Structure 1
């Protein structure tokens, strides 16, 4: 079970271990915001809009994964010209969302997120 203190720790670790992080959020799979750290220069929508968009995207990806027999969704990555968004389920109810600059090393970010989810995810 994820509590607010976990979300605060996650945001601190991601920002400490990676440069270029713009926003760290934890959203609920029902579309409600749980935690949002927009950083010093907030860009993008408010936390409610972010949560709704991420929940819908994760739901769609899970349906696509089922249809295509990919197994459980580990990570979703949306690359744009201005930013990249990485969404990674933490448990059945929460999704970690990291928005970063387009030049961030996604392999390194993936390793940081894997380490985090191993300590707070359902198997932890």
Structure 2
């Protein structure tokens, strides 16, 4: 089970270990926000809009994964000109969402996320 303290620890660890992190959120798969750390210079939509968008994207990715026989979803990456978003399921009810600068090393980000989420939950 994910509690707010877990989300705070994850956000602090990700921000400490990588430069270029803009926002760290944990959203529920039902589209409700659970935790949002927009950082010092918040950009983008409010936490409710972020949660709804991510929940829909994860749901769609899971359906696509089932149709294409990829197995469970480990992470979803959306690359834009201004930012990159990585969404990683923490358990059946929660998804970690990291928004970062477009030049952040995604391999390093994946390693950091694997380390900081290892004891929190399992990938859905």
- Which residue does the alignment assign to 2:111? 111
- Which residue does the alignment assign to 1:53? 53
- Which residue does the alignment assign to 1:81? 81
CA shift for structure 1 position 116: 1.8
CA shift for structure 1 position 119: 1.5
Summarize the alignment of residues 14-93 of structure 1 with structure 2, pairs less than 5 Å apart. 14-93=14-93
CA shift for structure 1 position 118: 1.1
Mapped partners of 1:109, 1:23: distance in 2? 13
| Residues 29-58 of structure 1, C-alpha deviations (whole Å, 9 max, x = no match) | 000000000000000000000000000000
Mapped partners of 1:43, 1:37: distance in 2? 11
| Residues 60-89 of structure 1, C-alpha deviations (whole Å, 9 max, x = no match) | 000000000000000000000000000000
Mapped partners of 1:23, 1:83: distance in 2? 10
Tell me the C-alpha RMSD between the 2 structures. Answer: 0.9
Structure 2 regions of 5+ residues with no counterpart?
Answer: none
TM-score scaled by length of structure 2: 0.97
For the Cα contact (< 8 Å) 2:10–2:117, is it kept in 1?
no
- Which residue does the alignment assign to 1:94? 94
Instruction: Say which SS state the counterpart of residue 11 (structure 1) adopts.
Output: helix
- Which residue does the alignment assign to 2:7? 7
CA shift for structure 1 position 59: 0.1
